Structure 1
Amino acid sequence: MSDDTKNIDPLVPDLSEPLRRALGDRYLTYALSTIMHRALPDARDGLKPVHRRILFAMRELKLSSTGGFRKSAKISGDVMGNYHPHGDAAIYDAMARLAQDFNVRYPLVDGQGNFGNIDGDNPAAARYTEARMTSAAEALIEGLAENAVDFRENYDGTLTEPVVMPASFPNLLANGSSGIAVGMATNIPPHNIAELCDACLHLIKTPDARDETLMNFVPGPDFPTGGTIVEPRENIVEAYRTGRGSFRLRCKYEVEDLGRGQWQVVVTEIPYQVQKSKLIEKIAELIQNKKIPILGDIRDESAEDVRIVLEPRSKNVEPEILMNMLYRSSDLEVRFSLNMNVLIDGLTPKVCSMKEVLRAFLDHRRDVLIRRSTYRMEKIDHRLEVLEGLIIAFLNLDRVIDIIRYDDDPKAALMREDWGRTFVRAMSEKDYVGPPEGEGELTEVQAEAILNMRLRSLRRLEEMELKRERDALMEERAGLDDLLNSGDLQWNRIAEQIRETKKQFGKDHPAGARRSVFAEAGEVEEVPLEAMIDREPITVVCSEMGWIRAMTGHIDLTRELKFKDGDGPRFVFHAETTDRLLAFGSNGRFYTVSAANLPGGRGMGEPLRLIVDLPNEAEIVDLFIHKAGRKLLVASSAGDGFVVPEDDVVAQTRSGKQVLNVRGDTRARVCKPVGGDSVAVVGENRKVLVFLLDELPEMGRGKGVRLQKYKDGGMSDVTTFTMAEGLSWLDPAGRTRTELELAEWLGKRAGSGRMAPRGFPRDNRFN
């Protein structure tokens, strides 16, 4: 833009600002809006703005807990149009959640129709369902008509809405809350109202109570879906003291005896916020992938209650072992995180302890009590003023009638009349404090009340009723005045209200009893595989192309077996279903396979590469049964090797465990069990070297040390033996030959060796 086209009018403000500042200011505004008006609940009533507006709109629609239902679409529409200018779908979802007894400990909405279920199914559309408030919701809004809280204008300034609800019980802890804001989040579990009321009463009696003491009244969360909390007490105390922590929550189950040693596990309660359908789907996947060999089947027999049946594959183990395995592998055990980040005064986000949250609630209840008492006193003062005027009218009825009948402006005439002596007659000597201001003149309020009095009220009985009402109001006013001027009386009144709340929502309430129980988790020992699987004989068959299968029973190893065209047998040996197989690849990795997970022997089996992650370029060097405590000798084609404990090569994952390091064209070639005191190695050059086993190191992983030195070619085979028994091999005719005199080939490790003895196999293999 040229200089002559720029706006240089000094009356027009310059609206430009740096982009960094503009973005920062606008993002900060958005963050504060999200924190204060969307994601974090208020510590006083435990509600977010959307929940507070839903309850207020239902109150305005007069949807009491004993009244009729209204369409959910009508409720969400009123909330959106009057108080919450956001999507109706979001409003309806929030309202539906308040009606779900598996999500909310004390539902605030009484739903009629399909409001979703524990399987994770969504509620029906808002046009199909109906709702009203529950008694718990009415306890939250009690006192709104008595100036208990401040009101503010709604989003367009046409209506007003409450800033916070009066809240007769600590809803924040009773129903919990969760939300994600900008840079902060909150996650609070539900608790039992009766226990919270006991903690509040103790806090009123002992304001400086310790957090550990409050645990005597609130031992932990109380989830809507029940379950068993297995978190240690000291961890729960620390979580409540700091406002951050977590709780381990398990399902609740029973063991049903089916007779003849058979049994099944029935899960009756699942952890909080776990969808039953997804839980069953996950466990079924574990069964299909044979991750839990002892588990045979799972069935969902749930109706109104939860009933998940777990059938074991074997009766040889205890139900606790099965459940401990499921705890580790599925959502039958979860961790519920505690992050008590709330708006402590409606404005400031803070991570609070349980004591701070309860103190915020009690301080709020005191404010509500003072405001309601003040409001009631104002109403009483107004009514007393009216009653005084009405009593004057009754005591001077003839004069009042004359003024009304003949005066052009009866209201002004009533106010001008001197009723001073009337007060002496109207009020007893002990209550009389003199005529009102204006020398016994009636106020405008009193005159208006006299003029609005009905003719049927002009009877002697009515005068007596007015005096009784006046005396009762004077007594109530004196009590309120004492209450407002005494902190002790205020806390006593709050304690009475909390006791009434406890009685209302305690053991006699349908949801009053504690649902979640406590137990010790205990240490879970590793369960041996043979304890989980029926021990049965099998024959493992692995072909030259790597197809593996398990045939039932111990068959004759010389029997002719069927293979794919161009394929044939390579490894055939007897095993049992409880065995673990070790496969050694030419890439130097060991792979572990459970014999119970092998495919059946009716077909051709499956490629071992699909069962474990064996690369395409790697070949199977050896396949054998794992024996604990044994040692293995592994060697590469370059003539390097070492001894490794067999227990150290067992892999826990499909990807196996790297043991022998190989590079370039070098390949792992030999894996033999160690037996004896000597090592014999033969190269592709047919030279044999014998040396003592002590010269080989024992390692967990590495390249190893040089076994034999070669000018051309590499290593062909290696074995271990006992020097005193001699070195044996199979000759071309299949006969065993033994060489006892080995001095000619005996040497130090890494030597070249001497030409193999007469009759040594042409394939340079010892066996």
Structure 2
Amino acid sequence: MAELTDKDAPIGVLDAPFDSALSERYLVYAMSTITARSLPDVRDGLKPVHRRLLWAMRLLKLDPSQGYKKCARVVGDVIGKYHPHGDQSVYDAMVRLAQTFSLRYPLVDGQGNFGNIDGDNAAAYRYTEARLTQVAIDLMDGLDEDGANLRPTYNGEEQEPELFPGLFPNLLANGAAGIAVGMATSIPPHNAAELLDAAIALVDDRAADVLQFVKGPDFPTGGLVVDPAAVIAESYRTGRGSFRVRARWTVEREKGGGWQAVVSEIPFGVQKGKLIEQIASLINDKKLPILADVRDESDAEVRIVLEPRSRTVDAGVLMDGLFRLTDLEVRVPLNLNVLDKDRTPRVMSLAEALGAWVDHQFVVLERRTRHRLDKIADRIELLDGYLIAYLNLDRVIEIIRTEDEPKQVMIAEFGLTDRQAEAILNMRLRSLRRLEEFEIRKERDSLDKERAGLAALLESPTKQKTRMKRDLTKVRDRYGAETLLGARRTTIEEAAPAREIPLEAMIEREPITVILSRRGWIRALRGHNDLSAPDTMKFKEGDGPAFAFHAQTTDKLLMAAENGRFYTLAADKLPGGRGFGEPVRAMVDLDGSVGVIALVKASGQDRLLLAASDGRGFIVQVADTIAETRKGKTVMTPRTGALLKVVRPVGKDDDYVAAIGDNRKMLVFPIAELVEMSRGQGLQLQRFRDGGLSDAKTFVFAQGLSWPMGGGTGRMRSEPDLSAWRAARGAAGRMPPTGFPRDNRFG
């Protein structure tokens, strides 16, 4: 079968590589998405759908002074004449333009249910009504004066503006957000008065520092921007960054010393309903134990009440926890990616974006001036014709009554233009009475004066700047800080990042008595109980106390096992004091054959002395012994046949170590000779000919050693001079002082 050639290919079929054809078509689609859907124009800050919505409402005469019309009517006009897309997407865009919590300066005045800050959807467009706001009127000002080009709509039956020429800085005032193909934009809203002040400064000096006027975003929902000024300035300089936005809150005091935190403003873009769910989830999951309850008492204003677990909870700590764990603090991105005057997408700095808008306003000023000059020329032409008719009124009437072609006769006899002759012929008889020479000349002189002023304006850049500043000032007064709409809502107030909440702050601090029995039953009694009282120290038959001490619910407890593993217990999670407690082995993964040799508080001390039964030991930082899981953490690795024997806190001033063996020989050596490490076997504390280590502790050499005397009397005995037992680490030692306990324990 013969191969097909290009000549044999069907008409209309292009033979091309699939990858290049696909890439070319995808590029066309991508550019269409970027320029005609997702990115706003730097000159008016609108996307095509928003521009077409406002244009359709303008043609429907939905001015602020007029009545409302159904949104269904507006959506129908938009999708039928200008924007052939889905009705729901167009209506969603219209709803956002009307939401006071979405737009800093709403462009649509809605009547009916347009959604709320809780995240509820708007009602269907057959139920809602809308009209334009004054902001939208300002944004479209100049369309009747050739301020912008008109282009045919998608079907060629109508016309629509390419952009809006008004003096309202909509791009930065209302912000924008969109995702295109391969790029996106995210511009937060700003205060219009600040933007106009900066624009006025740029008219005189294009190198002016706009950050002297624009301090930061101004969100419709208020809140606080807590970034440092340098970070904000850098974001504006590059056009990329983010702003850390927090909710506004206050503390309300109650009778009796209690208090509650009240959130009155939430961050921009956060749905209040979901925020309440977030906070409630923290309470249910006990991820923020210091928070007891959350209530939504909002009406027209936001009011979220946060109730602490106790009046002793620090309000700042509570809010820091909520800032870290919920959307009470969010980051609002800045990506100033817009279409410039050539419809090219690029990221601009704040100064560049505002400067591009100012340049556009000068173009609009020139267009509107030339349009007015053309209107004046047309009017003067007619006035000159009217003046000729007035001065020759009888002859004009005679020509009209007697001539078959009066227009041509008047043109030939009086030197009129075609428009002048047509205007004279179209005059009503009642107008002849008003055609007085004085009035005609007065209007003409006025127009001549205006034309001269406009011509001078076009020729003088200085006059254009003066006119521009005057017009900008007029708009700025409408949106000034003293007005309800223009007053700044978001506070720029630097604050440190939310703190990591310590365990102590998450738990209500209460005194407890911790008791661990010899068989491994643990419990925590409320309060600091008497450790010698029978009610406190009661155990099962055949059991007895192993460790008992006073602590706080905010403490972490370190439990050391014979195999050298350390386990961490939270004091607030210990079983209550009723009964005999619960097995500690149910709280950690500890084998029943391994004994517990120590239970100490982790708080209030920095280092521990560890020693094994073979006499080897070292000093470890408490922080290195804390385990994060039930499996514990291996800290000491005793040699084969040896077990962890000693775990004692090291005092801050301790400078010597005392060790005593099963052979009843004691040794004292400087603590500096002992190594500090986080894991291992350590060094030999004392050498034994037979037996092993019985006990060890650190102490202050100048104060000597003290130990309890027998018989339960509570009396102590001391040995101030230990020079006779002082030797190098690893020595054998000598018999202890007279009266030292027979169990070879330092107490």
Q: TM-score, normalised by structure 2?
A: 0.81
Partner of 2:738: none
SS state of the match for residue 215, structure 1? helix
State the shift of 1:324 in Å: 3.6
1:233 to 225, 229, 234: 229
Distance 1:586 1:35 in 2: 68
- Give the one of 327, 330, 334 matched to 2:330: 334
Deviation at 1:514, TM superposition (A): 1.1
What one-letter code is carried by the residue in structure 2 that aligns with 1:140?
Answer: L
Check 1:229–1:721 CA distance in 2 against 1; reply closer, same or farther (3 A cut). closer
CA contact (8 A) 1:580 1:625 kept: yes
Within-5 A mapping of 1:485-564: 485-521=459-495, 534-540=508-514, 550-554=524-528
Letter in 2 for 1:107: P
| Residues 580/184 of structure 1: CA separation in 2 closer, same or farther (3 Å cut) | same
Question: 2:270 aligned with 1:297, yes or no?
Answer: no
- Aligned residue for 2:132? 133
* Partner Cα distance (2:561, 2:79) in 1: 66
Residues 1:648 and 2:624 are matched in the alignment? yes
CA contact (8 A) 1:46 1:173 kept: yes
1:418 to 413, 421, 438: 413
Equivalent in the alignment of 1:372: 368
Please show how residues 111-190 of structure 1 align to structure 2 within 5 Å.
111-190=110-189
Pick closer, same or farther for the CA change 1:290–1:632 going to 2, 3 Å.
farther
Paired with 1:165 and 1:584, the residues of 2 have a C-alpha distance of 75
Counterpart contact for 2:30–2:181, Cα < 8 Å: yes
Q: Partner of 1:103 in structure 2? A: 102
- Spell out the pairing of 1:672-711 with structure 2 (5 A cutoff): 672-674=647-649, 677=657, 698-699=675-676, 701-705=678-682
Q: Supply the distance in 1 between the matched residues of 2:34 and 2:254 (Cα, whole angstroms).
A: 55
- Post-superposition CA distance 1:621-643 (Å, at most 9, x none): 56543233243356899999753
CA distance in 1, matches of 2:16, 2:253: 77
Paired residues for 1:726-741 under 5 Å:
none
CA separation of 1:336/1:716 partners in 2, compared to 1, >3 Å: closer, same or farther? farther
Contact 2:108–2:136 under 8 Å retained in 1: yes
**Deviations for 1:264-300, whole angstroms, at most 9, x for unmatched residues?**
2222222222222333333333344444444333222
Aligned to 2:456: 482
Structure 2 CA distance for partners of 1:373 and 1:725, relative to 1, 3 Å:
closer
After superposition, the Cα gap between the structure-2 partners of 1:141 and 1:636, relative to the gap in structure 1 and judged at 3 Å, is farther
Residue type at the aligned position of 2:73: K
What pairs with 1:429-448 in structure 2 (closer than 5 Å)?
A: 440=415, 442-448=416-422
Counterpart of 1:160 in structure 2: which amino acid?
A: Q
Given that 1:689 and 1:747 are in contact with CA atoms closer than 8 Å, whether structure 2 keeps it comes out as: no
SS at match of 1:677: strand
Ranges in structure 1 where 5+ consecutive residues have no aligned partner: 420-439, 709-714, 731-739, 741-745, 752-759
The whole-number CA distance in structure 2 between the counterparts of 1:53 and 1:616 is: 71
SS of 1:56's equivalent in the other structure is helix
Change (3 A) 1:661 1:176: farther
What corresponds to 1:283 in structure 2? 279
Q: Displacement of 1:231 after TM fit?
A: 2.1
Give me the whole-angstrom Cα distance separating, in 1, the residues matched to 2:425 and 2:490: 63
User: Does the C-alpha gap of structure 1 residues 123 and 674 become closer, same or farther in structure 2, counting only changes over 3 Å?
Assistant: same
1:319-360 C-alpha deviation (Å, 9 max, x unpaired): 334334433343333333322222222512222122211111
Hey, what does 2:557 align to over in structure 1? 581
The residue type equivalent to 1:207 in the other structure is R
Aligned to 1:192: 191
Q: State the SS of the aligned residue for 2:449.
A: helix
User: What is the DSSP-based 3-state SS (H/G/I as helix, E as strand, rest coil) of the residue aligned with 1:119?
Assistant: coil
5+ residue gaps in structure 2? 651-655, 686-691, 711-718, 720-726, 733-741
CA shift digits 1:358-408 (9 cap, x unpaired): 111111111111111111211221222222222222222222222222322
1:333-412 equivalences in 2 (<5 Å): 333-412=329-408
State the number of aligned residues. 717
Q: Provide closer, same or farther for how the CA distance between residues 542 and 444 of structure 1 changes in structure 2, counting only shifts above 3 A.
A: farther
- Asked whether 1:61 is paired with 2:60, we answer yes
Residues 1:449 and 1:9: Cα distance change in structure 2 (over 3 Å)? same
Residue deviations 1:170-191, cap 9 Å, x none? 1111111222233332222211
User: Which AA in structure 1 matches 2:635?
Assistant: L
The one-letter amino acid paired with 1:447 is A
Counterpart of 2:244 in structure 1 is: 248
Matches of 1:608 and 1:191, distance apart in 2 = 59
Please report how far the alpha carbon of residue 458 of structure 1 lies from its aligned counterpart in structure 2 after TM superposition: 1.7
CA–CA separation in structure 2 for the residues paired with 1:587 and 1:23: 67
TM-score (normalised: structure 1): 0.79
How far is 1:305 from its partner?
0.9
Aligned partner letter, 2:23: G
What SS does the corresponding residue of 2:163 show, helix, strand or coil? coil
The 3-state SS of whatever aligns with 2:144 is helix
Amino acid paired to 2:512: I
CA distance in 2, matches of 1:279, 1:8: 68
Alpha carbons 2:150, 2:161 under 8 Å: kept: yes
Aligned match of 2:635: 660
User: Contact 2:637–2:681 at 8 Å: present in 1 too?
Assistant: no
- Paired with 1:376 and 1:548, the residues of 2 have a C-alpha distance of 93
Tell me how large the CA RMSD over aligned residues is. 4.8
Corresponding residue number in structure 2 for 1:456? 430
Distance, in Å, in 2 between the alignment partners of 1:9 and 1:152 is 42
Alignment pair present for 1:220 and 2:216:
yes
1:3 offset after TM fit, Å? 2.9
Change (3 A) 1:447 1:290: same
Report the CA distance shift for 1:377/1:602 in structure 2 as closer, same or farther (over 3 A). farther
**How far did residue 235 of structure 1 move?**
2.3
3-state SS of 1:3 partner: coil
Q: Is the 8 A contact 1:588 1:668 kept in 2?
A: yes
2:36 is the alignment partner of 1:52 = no
Amino acid at match of 1:333: E
Deviation of residue 149 (structure 1)? 0.8
Range moving further from structure 2, 246-255 or 144-153? 246-255
1: CA distance, partners of 2:586 / 2:50: 52
Q: Would you say 1:271 and 2:267 are equivalent positions? A: yes
- Map of 2:571 onto structure 1: 595
Contact 1:541–1:572 (8 Å) recurs in 2: yes
2:378 alignment partner, SS class:
helix
Q: 1:304 to 1:481 in 2, by over 3 A?
A: same
CA distance in 2, matches of 1:273, 1:495: 34
Q: Describe the SS at the equivalent of 1:161.
A: strand
Checking the alignment, whether the CA contact within 8 Å between 1:394 and 1:463 is kept in structure 2 is yes
Structure 2: distance between partners of 1:364 and 1:497: 14
Give the SS at the match of 1:458: helix
C-alpha separation in 2, matches of 1:596 and 1:7 = 84
Give the partner amino acid of 2:511.
Answer: P
Q: Following TM superposition, by how much is the alpha carbon of 1:453 offset from its aligned partner in structure 2, in angstroms?
A: 0.9
